[in-house]
Amino acid sequence: MKAKIQKVLFFVLVAALIALGVRAAVPKKVGPQVWTPGCVSTVPRSWGQFKGGSAQSGLAFEDPAGTLRFVTNIPCDGTSFVALEISRTPGASANGSN
């Protein structure tokens, strides 16, 4: 009787190991996901470097002369329009008219 119980336990253990092995199989590799944007807008290179953006002020660009340009309404498939441009004037002091 004891030998019979040992055989049953052995087969149960083997079946459990096989079942765990099937679940622990390596999943299929997922291929690279290719995403195509639905909307593409451009800005001229002359606008300079992208400086950041926010929901309130839009996207900011600064050219080498220090001019800041803010874009708020960005069209699909076209060139963006400047909503606000801030230019530096020559000889202006840091604190205004002083």
**So where are the chain's domains?**
41-86
Express each pLDDT in 60-94 by its tens digit: 999 999 999 999 988 888 888 899 999 988 775 55
Coil/strand/helix, residue 14: helix
Q: Say yes or no to pLDDT of 44 above 70.
A: yes
pLDDT tier at 36, thresholds 50, 70, 90:
confident
For 5-40, b/e burial (b = at least 16 CB within 10 A) is eeeeeeeeeeeeeeeeeeeeeeeeeeeeeeeeeeee
Q: Say yes or no to pLDDT of 97 above 60.
A: no
Task: Report strand pairing: 41-42 vs 78-79.
Answer: parallel
Q: Could you tell me if 71 and 61 are in contact, meaning their C-beta atoms sit under 8 angstroms apart?
A: yes
DSSP 45: G
Q: Could you tell me if 69 and 60 are in contact, meaning their C-beta atoms sit under 8 angstroms apart?
A: yes
Mean pLDDT calculated for residue range 10-26: 71
- Threshold 0.75, pTM exceeds: no
